[in-house]
Chain A
Amino acid sequence: MALVTVEDLGVRYGANTVLRHIDMTVEPGEILTIVGPNGSGKTSLLRAIIGAVQPASGRVTLKPGLRIGYVPQKLHIDPTLPISVERFLRLTHRATRQSCAEALEAAGVPDLSKRQMSQLSGGQFQRVLLARALINKPEILLLDEATQGLDQPGSAAFYRQIETVRTETHCAILMISHELHVVMSASDRVICLNGHVCCQGSPAVVASAPEYRALFGTGTGGALALYRHDHDHHHHDHSQKAAE
């Protein structure tokens, strides 16, 4: 069965509707990427899946007993909080020293366990977050723009690590990304979101979909040429404009 099933999901913050009529599933072992402009509800969708926001309508069903590994968009550790990498990894799961070492190895930072979290570089920090997510052998990894703040080589290396993780552990990966070239090369499936699901399918299908082009322009070979667009866009109009 699907790991995550989202049916007719709507999310509202006060009077502000951020998501409406979302239907999607995440199947075991697939890499599914959510793309969309700022304010399109990507993070809200992820937060609804982990239960951090209550749906205003519809529902989110997780496979019973699903093990989730979550890598947040940003994590701020106050400098007054002393905590070593190993202690951080063992925070929520009573993990053994052995499994900490394995998780750090899998995340590509095997030698950091004794370091203080406050001493890590941006790239190391993100990999430790990844290691923390891997420690309970998740069936699904959720990544919310996990490479924010990393430079281009840093984020490319990070995504290669994600692919390695998938190959080795066969866990499903649901990620939000701004980096279209990464999305197009690494994903099995792409969902283009803008308050609702604009289009979805394999990267090739999505890249050629007029809805996607309306949001991101025609250059999909890695260019981040975001066209100016209206958030309440009409697909038809924009696709015409994009084709012009």
Chain B
Amino acid sequence: MFDDFMTRATLAGVGVAFAAAPLGCFVVWRRMAYFGDATAHAAILGIALSLTFQVSIFAGALAVALIMALTVTFLSGRGYAMDTLLGVLAHSALAFGLVAVSFLSGVRIDLMAYLFGDILAVSRSDLLVIWGGAALVVALITWRWSELLTATLNEDLAYASGFNPKREQLILTLALSVTVAVAIKVVGVLLIAAMLIIPAAAARSLARSPESMAVIAALIGAVSSLAGLRAAYVFDTPAGPSIVCVAAIIFAAFSLTGMQSRRKLH
């Protein structure tokens, strides 16, 4: 069954959706949407480096995304506001990445494939990386769920309960880097943040608890992948952006009905 490229693409999309959903909830709750963007943009630099040094794209992107995430964590609260810091780092990393790619003589790479993803070209070994990464991220977040939630609510509450919120922040950062690295092939650098944020935001109007929000977000992400790929096939549109479009339409629909039902309550 893995011989069919559409099957592989669907599995890849669903895998990324599962990893992105619980993580995306934290990104939304902690207001770190641009953090995802910055990490993803840095991944382009990682791709350039991995092509230069002939290591796997996944390893290069993961390493640079991780360095980026750690740098941001380290620099935050040291003089510059978070959004300024992320703006500087994200766009510099993207620019340096694009410049680095242009130095690669002899290797002709399709930059578009990394900016927008090429889910239809996902191979069996890519699938293994994606599902392996997704499993790691889901396991990490499930393991630390209560602690992550407490640290998200209030750092001092975490200290008083006997654990270090900085460590929880580091776990989120790590999970974010892994997700970005595995999602590059599927939706590309520019749309990874969309897969993190849109399903989680769409799930908000239906959810009554943090857990249900993560599960609903995962379902919305999976449905977006399936429907987006189908739409891409039927209308001959680019696959990654089509997935994000479906997620955005679901978000709009849920937000509107959510607003309506709230109005009825009043």
Which residues on A are within 8 Å of B, measured CB to CB?
47, 50-52, 68-70, 72, 75-78, 80-84, 87-88, 91-93, 116, 142
Contacts and interface: CB of A to CB of B under 8 A. Distances in A.
B195 interface: no
Contacts of A51: 159
Nearest to A73: B156
B160 A70 contact: yes
B161 A83 contact: no
B210 A70 contact: no
Given A91-B149, A91-B150, A92-B146, A83 B156 contact: no
Interface in B110-160: 146-147, 149-150, 152-157, 159-160
Given A81-B210, A82-B209, A92-B150, A72 B156 contact: yes
Closest A-B pairs by Cβ, 8 of them: A70-B160, A52-B159, A92-B161, A50-B160, A81-B29, A82-B207, A50-B159, A75-B154
Interface residues of B, number: 25
A78 B152 CA distance: 9
Nearest to B155: A52
Contacts of A92: 146-147, 150, 157, 161
B204 interface: yes
Interface string B155-194: 1110111000000000000000000000000000000000
B213 interface: yes
Given A80-B28, A80-B29, A70 B209 contact: no
B208 interface: yes
Contacts of B146: 91-92
B266 interface: no
A84 B213 CA distance: 13
17 contacts: A50-B160, A52-B159, A69-B160, A72-B156, A76-B154, A78-B30, A82-B213, A83-B209, A91-B146, A91-B149, A91-B150, A91-B153, A92-B146, A92-B147, A92-B161, A93-B161, A142-B160
Contacts of B23: none
A77 B210 CA distance: 12
A72 B157 contact: yes
A91 B150 CA distance: 7
B31 interface: yes
A75 B160 contact: no
